[in-house]
Structure 1
Amino acid sequence: MEKIMMMFPGVGSQQTGMGKDFYENRTSARDVMDEACDILSLNLLDYCFGAEHVNPQEHLEYIQCAIFAVNMACYAVYQSEIGVTPNLFLGYSLGEYCALCAAGILTYEDAIQLVLARGRLVKEQTQCLNGAMMWVLNVEISKVKEICQKMLASGEELYISEINTVYHCSISGTKQACYKAAAQLEDIGAVIYPLNMSGPYHCPLMNEAGESMRKLLEDVTFGVPSGEVLANYDAHVYPVQREGIKNRLISQLTSPIRWRECVEYSIRAGITIAIESGPKNVLQYLVGQETKQIRTFGIENLDGIKTVSGYLER
């Protein structure tokens, strides 16, 4: 019997026209996306269907809400047409809010409002910092850690902020520290990609945003999950206790995303299928880089739903 992990992407997966196939052809998806617009009193469809006209640096919090809505619309179609409850839920950064919502820990209304508030807090914090974030490829994570530790020891703020595979991570910190580290990393064979639409995310420079997030979570009611949800913060299953849920959401802002460890957990849990619910195939690629034991699928459109349905019914 197949064991399913449902994955939800974050920023970087957005693209023009995302969710349009489902919106035009499936009521379940249209209802989810329209509800998001109603809750926020905002036409998110502009950010889904006309993304080429949107400045991501000016409208990042709305783009995040659009990604959330599309991710959940894809999952709504999956639920209505396939209906097999996933054994495990996993999201990447803001995608973790989708995972919590899909599993029933967060209501849809609370989740999208938290995504908007989180986006605004992070944007405000980023504007106060001269920070940056960069992908680092083709160098072992141990080498990146070594450079970060040396920079910190010298008084410069630089941190590993995402750990995706052994040879794929990101660094966050002040711009000066990031570019200094980039030069050192390129000298040992790294390929560096500065992320233009981001700040120093998932590191201690976001501590102030984390504390503001703590206050927002005080009034949120958490439900009992229908399956396990993995936390980006520590690659452990979310607890049912209120404080444990809050602490993991806060820590996600200030600590690295441990994606590789989450995938390792899914392997140990016997997951055989990973389904990406949202635009593009970024998470499918990352899982494939880590293991061949898990077969990956995407359900960003009707063709994807048909493929998954056919595979499960074989």
Structure 2
Amino acid sequence: MSKIAFVFPGQGSQVVGMGKDLYEYSQAAKEIFDQADQALGFSLSTLCFEGPEEDLRLTENTQPAILTASIAALAAFREKFPEVSVDFVAGHSLGEYSALVAAGALSFEDAVKTVRLRGQFMEQAVPAGQGAMSAIMKMDREVIQSICQEVEATGHPVQLANLNCPGQIVISGSAEGVRLAGEKAAEQGARTIALKVSGPFHSSLMAPAAERLKGVLAEVNVQDAATPVVANVSATAITEAAVIERSLIEQVASSVLWEDSVRYMIAEGVTTFVEIGPGSVLAGLIKKVDRKLTVRNVSDVKTLEELVDGGVLC
């Protein structure tokens, strides 16, 4: 029997208006947005529904906003289709917190408060302009890894940050390190795209943020996961609370092994992936790993209605 995985998007999937239709359609989704507003002490729901976009794009706002929109979509899905079970959950970077809420390892209230702080810590870890990230297209990871090591040997930090899918890898580090690595990659035929981000996420420069997050997570009630969670840092399933907490701390300054995570779930028998949250970034990446997979997205009411009615998630 084929297996199902729920996957949750990370930063970059935000859009003004996200979750508004679910808020109006589903009592369960509305309750999630209301909980977020109460937990954070301001109207995150208004920011999601109405913007302004420049405020929604601030990392400390983006992270709780995407988490809330994702869990609201999950709540609406479970409200309508309680019979659907899931075999694995996973999330891309920030999305791992949504996956952990889905797996019962974190309460939503703890998660939304934690990612708000996580966003602040990541923003504050490196002074503005000193870090950067770039996507490297159409180049093998071994070649990019070699280039990064060569640049780092000159004293400019740069590492593989997101291993998203074949031919798409994001590098992160100091502005100079990312520039030099991008130039070397371009010389070997790769296409490089500078990303509009506020810091060098998932690089060694995020170590101060990881250390501060460690103190926050020490006060959070992390529980064993009821559903296996495929962790970014290891691309394997984890369920133990202590391992989950350690993975979340390591994740801030480590590579997101997304392609490896997808391949792990495929090897475990997953043939259907459902992206739960705003946008369809992960659906696109998963299809680039294996086009034969069934990939669906739950981001609006119409899709929610169609998923089970179409026999995809029986």
TM range (shorter): over 0.9
In the alignment, the residues of structure 1 paired with residue 312 and residue 135 of structure 2 have an alpha-carbon distance, to the nearest angstrom, of: 35
In the alignment, the residues of structure 2 paired with residue 166 and residue 95 of structure 1 have an alpha-carbon distance, to the nearest angstrom, of: 20
- Structural RMSD (CA): 1.6
The residue that corresponds to 1:209 in the other structure is: 209
Number of equivalenced pairs: 312
TM-score by length of 1: 0.95
Counterpart residue type for residue 15 of structure 1: V
Pairing of 1:141-156 with structure 2 (within 5 A):
141-156=141-156
In the alignment, the residues of structure 1 paired with residue 131 and residue 245 of structure 2 have an alpha-carbon distance, to the nearest angstrom, of: 26
CA pair 129-245 structure 1, distance change in 2 beyond 3 A: farther
In the alignment, the residues of structure 2 paired with residue 184 and residue 262 of structure 1 have an alpha-carbon distance, to the nearest angstrom, of: 28
Instruction: Provide the secondary structure at the position in 2 that maps to 1:280.
Output: coil
Conservation of the 8 A alpha-carbon contact between 2:297 and 2:303: yes
1:48-80 CA-to-partner distances (Å, cap 9, x unmatched) read 1234542456x2211211111000000001111
- Unpaired segments ≥5 residues, structure 2: none
The residue that corresponds to 1:240 in the other structure is: 240
Pairing of 1:49-198 with structure 2 (within 5 A):
49-55=49-55, 59-83=58-82, 84-127=84-127, 130-198=130-198
- How far 1:305 moved relative to its partner? 1.0
Conservation of the 8 A alpha-carbon contact between 1:3 and 1:272: yes
- How far 1:27 moved relative to its partner? 1.1
Conservation of the 8 A alpha-carbon contact between 2:132 and 2:197: no
Say whether 1:273 aligns with 2:267: no
Percent of aligned positions with the same letter in both sequences? 30
Instruction: Provide the secondary structure at the position in 2 that maps to 1:254.
Output: coil
- How far 1:128 moved relative to its partner? 6.4
Conservation of the 8 A alpha-carbon contact between 2:19 and 2:69: yes
- How far 1:137 moved relative to its partner? 1.0
Counterpart residue type for residue 29 of structure 1: A
In the alignment, the residues of structure 2 paired with residue 186 and residue 216 of structure 1 have an alpha-carbon distance, to the nearest angstrom, of: 40
In the alignment, the residues of structure 1 paired with residue 171 and residue 50 of structure 2 have an alpha-carbon distance, to the nearest angstrom, of: 30
Which 4+ runs in 1 deviate beyond 6 A?
Answer: none
- Unpaired segments ≥5 residues, structure 1: none
Conservation of the 8 A alpha-carbon contact between 1:29 and 1:74: yes
In the alignment, the residues of structure 2 paired with residue 215 and residue 91 of structure 1 have an alpha-carbon distance, to the nearest angstrom, of: 22
In the alignment, the residues of structure 2 paired with residue 145 and residue 267 of structure 1 have an alpha-carbon distance, to the nearest angstrom, of: 25
Conservation of the 8 A alpha-carbon contact between 2:66 and 2:277: yes
1:3-53 CA-to-partner distances (Å, cap 9, x unmatched) read 110010011111121111111111111111111011101111232123454
In the alignment, the residues of structure 2 paired with residue 140 and residue 229 of structure 1 have an alpha-carbon distance, to the nearest angstrom, of: 27
In the alignment, the residues of structure 1 paired with residue 136 and residue 22 of structure 2 have an alpha-carbon distance, to the nearest angstrom, of: 35
TM-score by length of 2: 0.95
CA pair 292-37 structure 1, distance change in 2 beyond 3 A: same
CA pair 56-139 structure 1, distance change in 2 beyond 3 A: farther
Instruction: Provide the secondary structure at the position in 1 that maps to 2:270.
Output: coil
Counterpart residue type for residue 10 of structure 1: G
